[in-house]
């Protein structure tokens, strides 16, 4: 992918990648272009516009602005996410891993197996939910649970161990065990494995040899590397009665055989990062997470029986050191995926609301004695000022919440809209959205709330002259299929380059639009009276103004809508959107990618455009332009002045 401006001058707005390649190489090079495209999924040709040029001479760059990797709480890796960005022709990937997971705040460091309702130490969250995990032809003898004896003499909390018994009804492998579901405790063992050791006490009963006790770690998804195919990696630590210590990689499944002496308790120290580096030298050992943990007994015929006790987590790296490690890992990925520019942000997320930090000099905040009750004030008075002082921008993330329940009724969504809008509006000296600059609006469905209600929340802010740049995101934690996931929106910016300063400048000015990665590949822009661009705020006594709206790459059968809403400063008395469609232009009727419309501006208002399907599904939306009769009471931010 070309990032220079000479390439952009060759490409027309909305031209597909396939069309650009064909045009660039000529007919004689069609076969070569096809060969290049065949290296990636066909969806590559459907991605962002091929460096469309904006009215101000800037270029269109697509951005994934909320992405998680092995430093957060699921199976994603930096490698997997970068592959998705490159495959889907996304120009910029912003790393926004959770700060409190890098810090390991409230993370559990020991389990004594006194009961399945055992909680961690003070401040380390609630009890884990130990869920039975069994597979294969287990006989009726397979079982497990908490026992009071025997227990490890090394454990300072006496009484309690996890007993595990497995017996296969045949010679086929059968397992019986428990998965440690830490969701009720805030996922407080899920973190990056670098610098981490697991210490566990093991006791094997004597009299069996065909089987093992297992500590299984499910870790991160990676693309194919060396002899390993693409997939989610696992580490199976297999404790066996005697024998040799052996490590072997079977594709993405690593087996580390740990011989122990039956009949006595032994402490075993496991260092997953070292084993990953040994088993898979073709991948970056630092890019792996402790995602899931399961303890089991396994049998291939014998009755395999033993005990686990006193599980400890020794974490030697955390906080800013992890953040700096991620920055170092970016350099490795930059050479592997040269078409994708990386920008390192951070998600400040100890409690709700979460807030992304975009900019230079990002640093993990020190929470001190911050509680859930003081957290919003901490964001407003400490975090956001620090972001702005550093020259960065703050994003108010998933404003309705981060869950993924079923879609709520429309009446329930209307109620939530009013509640959240009332909370985000300025009041009593509290700035709108705690002082954030961006608002995540491009979610097809989040916390049971649909896209229309996310956009309506944004419109409530706009009608009150709260100038927030709306962006579309995925908040992806997995990195396996950006194109096909439900929330697959990305953000495009009219910027001079993919450099940090240029991207921040565009975002601060609202020079961006967002849309579905799989449904919209074009460009959106607005220009009023030849001088007021999308994102800007203009104050004029004129009662009629001229809008030129740009929309390229529109899908067949889609329509560009122009929406207008009064800026009426309704505040808490108007907690719903007041926009109305004032212009509708089918794709087949948009000549040259632009339309011109006269706008009634007798009242202060804002405009935005959106692209919809024939059934009214919104595929993309532009940021607003505000056309005011009088200066807003809180002034106009410098980046939005015309």
251-302 pLDDT, tens digit each: 999 999 999 999 999 999 999 999 999 999 999 999 999 999 999 999 999 9
Is the confidence at residue 27, as pLDDT, over 90?
Answer: no
pLDDT, average across residues 39-66: 65
Here the tokens at position 362 are 């990002």
Here the tokens at position 419 are 């509640």
Strand pairing class (618-622; 196-204)? unpaired
Residues in the chain: 642
pLDDT at 34: 36
Among 449, 469, 450, 447, residue whose Cα is nearest residue 458? 469
pLDDT at 429: 87
Q: What is the pLDDT of residues 396-440, one digit of tens each?
A: 999 999 999 999 999 999 999 999 999 999 998 899 999 999 999
pLDDT, average across residues 224-231: 96
pLDDT at 17: 31
Q: What is the pLDDT of residues 74-87, one digit of tens each?
A: 999 999 999 999 99
> Minimum mean pLDDT among 55-59, 132-136, 201-205, 524-528: which range?
55-59
Question: Which DSSP string corresponds to 555-594?
Answer: PTT-EEEEEEEE----GGG--S---EEEEEEEGGG-GGGE
Angle in degrees, CA 420, 488, 183, rounded to 5: 65
Distance of alpha carbon 255 from alpha carbon 229, whole angstroms:
16
Q: In DSSP terms, which residues pair with 470 in a beta bridge?
A: 439
Among 68, 55, 85, 60, residue whose Cα is nearest residue 5? 60
Here the tokens at position 126 are 């609630």
pLDDT, average across residues 117-126: 90
Tokens 């004689």 map to which residue?
28
Residue 132: its H or E element? strand 129-135
Q: Which long-range contacts link 223-231 to residues 24+ away (Cβ below 8 Å)?
A: 223/79, 223/80, 223/83, 225/79, 225/280, 225/282, 225/283, 226/280, 226/281, 226/282, 226/283, 227/251, 227/282, 228/252, 228/280, 228/282, 228/283
pLDDT, average across residues 363-389: 97
pLDDT at 642: 87
pLDDT, average across residues 21-46: 33
Among 110, 113, 132, 131, residue whose Cα is nearest residue 121? 110
Give the residue, 259 or 29, on which the prediction is more confident. Answer: 259
592: pLDDT confidence band, cut at 50, 70 and 90? confident
Here the tokens at position 373 are 């009750």
Here the tokens at position 523 are 């460009």
Distance of alpha carbon 175 from alpha carbon 142, whole angstroms:
8
9: pLDDT confidence band, cut at 50, 70 and 90? very low
Give the domains, in start order, of the chain with CATH numbers. 5-101+322-640 (3.20.20.140), 108-315 (2.60.120)
Contact 80/331 with Cβ under 8 angstroms?
Answer: no
Q: In DSSP terms, which residues pair with 53 in a beta bridge?
A: 59
Angle in degrees, CA 526, 527, 528, rounded to 5: 125
Q: In DSSP terms, which residues pair with 177 in a beta bridge?
A: 133, 296
pTM to 2 decimal places: 0.91
Mean pLDDT of the chain: 92
Distance of alpha carbon 484 from alpha carbon 46, whole angstroms:
13
Contact 358/504 with Cβ under 8 angstroms?
Answer: yes
pLDDT, average across residues 110-125: 93
Is the confidence at residue 229, as pLDDT, over 80?
Answer: yes
Contact 330/344 with Cβ under 8 angstroms?
Answer: yes
pLDDT at 23: 29
Say if residue 150 is preceded by a cis peptide, omega within 30 of 0.
yes
Cβ neighbours, 10 Å, residue 149: 10
Contact 226/280 with Cβ under 8 angstroms?
Answer: yes
Q: Percent helix, strand, coil in the chain (nearest 5)?
A: 20, 35, 45
368: pLDDT confidence band, cut at 50, 70 and 90? very high
pLDDT at 55: 58
What are the helix and strand counts (H, E) for the chain?
12, 37
Question: Which DSSP string corresponds to 190-240?
Answer: -EE-TTEEEEEEEEE-SS--SEEEEEEEEEEEE--BTTB-SEEEEEEEEEE
Within 8 A by CB and 6+ apart from 96, the residues are: 65, 66, 67, 68, 345, 346, 347, 356
pLDDT at 221: 98
pLDDT at 604: 98
pLDDT at 4: 35
Residue 541 vs residues 321, 545, 608, 636: alpha-carbon distances, Å: 54, 10, 20, 17
Give the residue, 614 or 38, on which the prediction is more confident. Answer: 614
Contact 479/470 with Cβ under 8 angstroms?
Answer: no
Here the tokens at position 605 are 């208002």
Q: What is the C-alpha R_g of the chain? A: 28
Is the confidence at residue 19, as pLDDT, over 70?
Answer: no
Is the confidence at residue 24, as pLDDT, over 70?
Answer: no
Is the confidence at residue 334, as pLDDT, over 50?
Answer: yes
Is the confidence at residue 129, as pLDDT, over 50?
Answer: yes
Distance of alpha carbon 93 from alpha carbon 433, whole angstroms:
24
Contact 288/219 with Cβ under 8 angstroms?
Answer: yes
């Amino acid at each position: 992918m070309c990032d220079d401006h000479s390439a952009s001058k060759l490409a027309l707005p909305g031209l597909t990648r396939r069309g650009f390649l064909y045009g660039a190489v000529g007919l004689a090079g069609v076969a070569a272009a096809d060969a290049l495209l065949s290296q990636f999924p066909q969806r590559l040709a459907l991605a962002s516009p091929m460096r469309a040029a904006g009215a101000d001479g800037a270029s269109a760059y697509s951005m994934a602005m909320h992405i998680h990797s092995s430093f957060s709480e699921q199976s994603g890796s930096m490698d997997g996410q970068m592959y998705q960005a490159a495959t889907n022709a996304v120009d910029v990937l912003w790393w926004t891993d959770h700060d409190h997971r890098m810090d390991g705040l409230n993370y559990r460091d020991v389990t004594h197996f006194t009961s399945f309702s055992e909680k961690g130490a003070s401040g380390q969250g609630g009890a884990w939910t130990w869920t039975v995990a069994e597979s294969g032809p287990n006989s009726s003898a397979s079982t497990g649970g908490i026992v009071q004896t025997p227990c490890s003499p090394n454990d300072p909390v006496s009484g309690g161990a996890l007993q595990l018994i497995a017996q296969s009804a045949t010679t086929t492998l059968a397992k019986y065990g428990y998965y440690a579901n830490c969701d009720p405790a805030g996922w407080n063992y899920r973190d990056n494995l670098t610098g981490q050791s697991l210490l566990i006490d093991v006791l094997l009963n004597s009299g069996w040899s065909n089987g093992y006790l297992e500590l299984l770690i499910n870790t991160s998804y990676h693309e194919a590397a060396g002899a390993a195919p693409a997939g989610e990696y696992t580490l199976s630590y297999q404790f066996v009665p005697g024998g040799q210590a052996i490590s072997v990689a079977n594709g993405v499944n690593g087996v580390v055989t740990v011989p122990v002496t039956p009949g006595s308790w032994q402490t075993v120290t496991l260092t997953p990062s070292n084993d990953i580096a040994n088993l898979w030298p073709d991948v970056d050992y630092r890019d792996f997470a402790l995602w899931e943990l399961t303890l089991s007994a396994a049998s291939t015929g014998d009755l395999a029986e033993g005990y686990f006790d006193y599980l400890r987590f020794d974490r030697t790296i955390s906080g800013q050191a992890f953040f700096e490690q991620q920055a170092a890992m970016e350099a490795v990925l930059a050479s592997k995926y040269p078409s994708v520019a990386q920008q390192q942000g951070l998600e400040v997320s100890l409690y709700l609301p979460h807030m992304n930090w975009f900019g230079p000099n990002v640093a993990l905040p020190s929470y001190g004695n911050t509680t859930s009750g003081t957290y919003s004030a901490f964001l407003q008075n400490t975090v956001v000022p620090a972001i702005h002082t550093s020259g960065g921008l703050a994003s108010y993330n998933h404003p309705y919440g981060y869950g993924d329940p079923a879609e709520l009724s429309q009446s329930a969504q209307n109620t939530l809209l009013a509640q959240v809008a009332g909370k985000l509006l300025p009041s009593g000296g509290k700035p709108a959205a705690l002082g954030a600059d961006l608002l995540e609006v491009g979610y097809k469905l989040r916390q049971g709330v649909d896209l229309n209600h996310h956009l309506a929340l944004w419109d409530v802010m706009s009608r009150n002259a709260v100038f927030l740049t709306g962006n579309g995101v995925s908040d992806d934690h997995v990195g396996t299929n950006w194109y096909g996931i439900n929330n697959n929106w990305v953000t495009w910016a009219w910027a001079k380059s993919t450099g940090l300063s240029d991207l921040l400048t565009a975002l601060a000015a609202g020079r961006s639009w967002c849309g579905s990665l799989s449904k919209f590949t074009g460009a959106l822009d607005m220009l009023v009276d030849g001088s007021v661009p999308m994102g800007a705020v203009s104050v004029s006594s004129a009662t009629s103004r001229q809008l030129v709206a740009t929309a390229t790459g529109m899908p067949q059968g889609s329509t560009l809508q122009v929406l207008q809403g009064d800026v009426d400063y309704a505040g808490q008395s108007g907690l719903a959107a007041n926009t109305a469609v004032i212009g509708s232009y089918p794709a087949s009727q948009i000549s040259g990618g632009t339309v011109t419309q006269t706008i009634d501006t007798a009242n202060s208002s804002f405009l935005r455009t959106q692209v919809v399907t024939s059934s009214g599904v919104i595929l993309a939306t532009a940021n607003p332009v505000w056309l005011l009769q009088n200066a807003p009471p809180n002034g106009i931010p410098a980046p939005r002045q015309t």
